[in-house]
Amino acid sequence: MSQMNIATVDLNLLKVFEALHEESSASRAALRLGVTQSAVSAALRRLREVYGDQLFVRTGRGLAPTLKANQLKPVVSDALNKCRQSLAMVDPTAHHYEGRSVTVGLSDDFEIAYGRRLIEEIARRAPKLRLIFRQTHSQIVARALMERSIDLAITAGGFAERLLSRQVLGEGGYACLVDPASLAPGQQQIDLEEFVTREHLLVSSGGFIGITDEGLAALGRSRRVCASTTHFAALPHLLKGSDAVATIPTHAAQAIASMSGLALLPCPLALPRYPIELGWRTSTQIDPVVLTVREAIGASFRAE
């Protein structure tokens, strides 16, 4: 690698690096930056000289970052965000939201229940800011925050890492969803006997056992899970036309029932409630744009 001095490096190259890493495509990076594809290719050649690494290699699915590029990404994005912050400091009233994005990690139950409300809250508080929703869950959320692949996260716990801060947004419980065609006329609940007789759909990020199995085991009972999925959004398609039941967080059950026509029923099993938490990286200087989104998330949950 040749010796490089920051005085000889065009700092616009860092914007190209960030766009290439996030878009995995020279043509999409060019569109995003409002430059030609040949300009992006020229910038990539220069970046490779600066860092002494290929940085991005062509695959069947576009450009894939090398290990070095993945190591550089959080440092480069952090530097660019500090530059964006500096513009806001010059004129705090001019809210520089255009071109900015904030990535919120959450499982799709929260996205289904709160996503639209959050988009509307952000449109009021930070016009032109782009929200990016990224799938996560409590087992992987701390690492995702520390690696800076997300800026904020909404999960049921998982923020024990000492460099993370958290705020309780609320408390959650569970409800059941079924195809209304599988209920008797006027039926508005199912008892425990019917509950264990029916087949079940499990929503899980990877496990075979859910909170429902633990609750049933405490009563010496069990259930038969006919299928599991990682996405709550699939439930209307998987439940319709069946006798199966899905036991999921109440906020998602209410949102899915209102959109899909599935029947929302109380859970006949006493299951523990859980805290819904917002987490972020603890830092001496919080990016004001991330702070704006944090406040919008809090407002969205209080609006319930």
Q: Are residues 213 and 246 in the same domain?
A: yes
CATH number for the domain that contains residue 28: 1.10.10.10
CATH number for the domain that contains residue 240: 3.40.190.10
CA distance 270 to 219: 10
Q: Are residues 188 and 252 in the same domain?
A: yes
Strands (E) in 96-137, as ranges, are 101-106, 130-135
Q: Is residue 40 part of a domain?
A: yes
pLDDT of residue 131: 95
Q: Are residues 135 and 182 in the same domain?
A: no
**What are the distances in angstroms from CA 78 to CA 83, 97, 102, 132, 178?**
9, 16, 12, 17, 46
H/E run at residue 50? helix 37-51
Q: Are residues 178 and 242 in the same domain?
A: yes
Nearest to 203 by CA among 112, 103, 104: 112
Q: Are residues 156 and 214 in the same domain?
A: no
Check: CB of residue 50 under 8 Å from CB of residue 13.
Answer: yes
User: How many domains, in total, are found in the chain?
Assistant: 3
Q: For residue 108, give the amino acid letter.
A: D
Strand-by-strand arrangement of the 164-172 sheet: 130-135, 101-106, 152-155, 274-281, 164-172
CA distance 138 to 277: 10
The two beta strands, 199-203 and 224-229, are: parallel
Per-residue pLDDT of the chain (304 residues; tens, 9 = 90+): 445 567 777 888 999 999 999 889 999 899 988 899 999 999 999 999 999 999 999 988 889 999 999 999 988 988 887 787 776 666 655 566 777 889 999 999 999 999 999 999 999 998 889 999 999 988 899 999 988 889 999 999 888 888 899 999 999 999 999 999 999 999 999 999 999 999 999 998 877 888 999 999 999 999 999 999 999 999 999 999 999 999 999 999 999 999 999 999 999 999 999 999 999 988 755 678 888 999 999 999 987 6
Angle between helices 26-33 and 37-51 (to 10 degrees): 110
Q: Is residue 88 part of a domain?
A: no
CA distance 18 to 26: 11
Which range of residues forms the domain containing residue 162?
95-171+275-302
CA distance 238 to 16: 42
Q: Are residues 120 and 58 in the same domain?
A: no
- Tokens at 112, concatenated: 């289904």
| Bridge partner list, 264 | 177
Q: Are residues 156 and 281 in the same domain?
A: yes
| Bridge partner list, 105 | 134, 153
pTM beyond 0.85: no
Q: Is residue 244 part of a domain?
A: yes
Q: Is residue 77 part of a domain?
A: no
